[in-house]
Structure 1
């Protein structure tokens, strides 16, 4: 029994599975849950579905703690995927029925849209007459691009990831984590380029999914109006709200809207409706903070599964919460300033370069001073060293050999 429990504390105790078997073990519980929830509730009672969902939900949640592929990038993807699959099916099977009194049921179409909605717009019948559509009509999108347009964008972002990863992997994990304390200027450069590499990495995923959908389901052509970029240069954010609402990836938006956002907003409003006048606004704020908490939970979960619970609880526990809840409070502060301070400022100042500069400095500084808390656990784990894209590293080594002054800007993880 103790040996079995030791497996499910994560880290080095996990069972290493072959490359092809690993994804099968990961997805089987989720496929079974999907099959369960799409059965019409009049043919299969919700109570029975809920009972059957319990071991499957536990399997989805615990699998990254018990099994590994041995590749840290794949383990990262597996942890993130299973965390969000757990949240989505937990909402469908338990939270939605308890909070909104609905049956345990979802259509295959709704699950399909949940998965692709972060990238693709699925048109719905118009609720009322508009300039372009009459009530009940569905917008028709014109296909104006081919699959090779996706390939060009994908190649650009893969090159971006390769160059930055090749530089970042010259640092050891200890060197990375020490820069926060010992070399703040270098840490700022790491913070800046980490934003660029995340932009490239997520957009590479987005364009890969887009290419797959275009080739398999759309015959090789698509409407550019119907598809969106997953990330929009987060380093260019003018405010924290702009960063998280617009520029950061919306990969899990449908999941986090379903849970925790909607249930938390509903429960908060029910609690406050008869007690305060602005229950709706408070409900929105609390629900928004809950989304940041869900994101913090996802990052804590990945670190815990891959570092192991003993190391995680002793060294890294709570760091992701500091980062994400801190950013949630930062966004809340911006809204307070927008409501209380902004109306008292002149339009000339709000449109001025000075105002723009203040916003940019605030956003960049807040990101810089909180970045360590999201950065530390992942760098200590060393997932970056399993990146498949480091083809540029020989060129970086040669550049440093040619210009020795650049030695201070690379780590000791390469022999120069």
Structure 2
């Protein structure tokens, strides 16, 4: 694969330049030009949320978290929820800041828009009277609310951070898919080649992601501490990769028997959400343990709200109950 293509994929981890070009040439597209300063309130709010939640997490020592993991599931759930929300807010303001910087350096504006297919306009994808309305997303949210995911596939492909998505598609996914397709085509029936190839390609992405996280742990933990957590990240990502494949298989078997109307669609979403949250929470220690050793949450706050938060928490019983032993 040419390096130029890899470089373009890396640059497009957030900005969909190809889609933007097509939309700009589409007569049915309605484009709104916005000043980059329109993003400033979103950046500030996300930053403050990150700082406050980070301040809460700094009341926990690594001993607190490891103890909660083993003996206090509810306390560990608090760390899980607050940590997930803090990371979500952190990536949100980082993504908006990236967009702000790019817009500022390219004239001070960016575009939003919507496209009409039919006779009506709307800001969301919707079906109504055989008309299809689609929102134009030229700038992808960096981490759009992972706690809204109703499937593991959706969690990893859309709701989790998008920093490496294009890279993973370019490097492991497409080459592995092409190689697997050519190899398995010689031995498997034609109707089996595509699903098996997709499964192998999907798991390969998670495998490479696990390897990357293992490498990061080697650097951050050092040779003395890393062996204690060796393989945790790789196991976490491979398990999730296999779960994504199995989830897809189960969905293909069950979905045809579920009516595509309320309340069945609502029930399906609730069950899917419960499955994603419970499975992720159950496997979370594999992902999080090495970061607990580093007390990585200390990096989520710049300390701007820490003094205020600690004072407020000490005066507010329910908030104090959410905090760790360092407060």
Structure 2 spans left out of the alignment, 5+ residues: 113-135
* Superposed CA RMSD: 2.6
| Partner secondary structure for residue 145 of structure 1 | strand
Q: Which residue of the partner structure matches residue 101 of structure 2?
A: 212
> Structure 1 residues 346 and 201 mapped into 2: Cα distance closer, same or farther (>3 Å)?
same
Deviations 1:123-169 (A, max 9, x none): 36999xx9x759xxxx9884521111121111111011011100001
| Partner secondary structure for residue 341 of structure 1 | helix
> Structure 1 residues 113 and 350 mapped into 2: Cα distance closer, same or farther (>3 Å)?
farther
Structure 1 spans left out of the alignment, 5+ residues: 1-95, 97-104
Q: Which residue of the partner structure matches residue 328 of structure 1?
A: 241
Q: 2:34 aligns with which of 145, 152, 161?
A: 145
Q: 1:339 aligns with which of 252, 267, 272?
A: 252
| Partner secondary structure for residue 303 of structure 2 | coil
Q: Which residue of the partner structure matches residue 317 of structure 1?
A: 230
| Partner secondary structure for residue 231 of structure 1 | coil
1:406 shift after superposition: 4.5
Taking the aligned partners of 2:167 and 2:261, their CA distance within structure 1 comes to: 41
Q: Which residue of the partner structure matches residue 154 of structure 2?
A: 242
TM-score in terms of structure 2 length? 0.83
Higher strand residue share? 2
Deviations 1:224-247 (A, max 9, x none): 242221111001111111111121
1:283 shift after superposition: 1.3
Taking the aligned partners of 1:329 and 1:305, their CA distance within structure 2 comes to: 27
Whether 2:204 is the aligned partner of 1:290: answer yes
Q: Which residue of the partner structure matches residue 17 of structure 2?
A: 122
Deviations 1:311-340 (A, max 9, x none): 212x10111122211211221121111111
Q: 2:306 aligns with which of 369, 389, 393?
A: 393
**Bigger CA drift: 394-403 or 324-333?**
394-403
Taking the aligned partners of 1:152 and 1:166, their CA distance within structure 2 comes to: 21
Where in structure 2 are the equivalents of 1:247-396 lying within 5 Å?
247-276=159-188, 277=190, 278-313=192-227, 315-347=228-260, 351-396=264-309
> Structure 1 residues 365 and 143 mapped into 2: Cα distance closer, same or farther (>3 Å)?
same
> Structure 1 residues 405 and 250 mapped into 2: Cα distance closer, same or farther (>3 Å)?
closer
Whether 2:43 is the aligned partner of 1:157: answer no
> Structure 1 residues 383 and 367 mapped into 2: Cα distance closer, same or farther (>3 Å)?
same
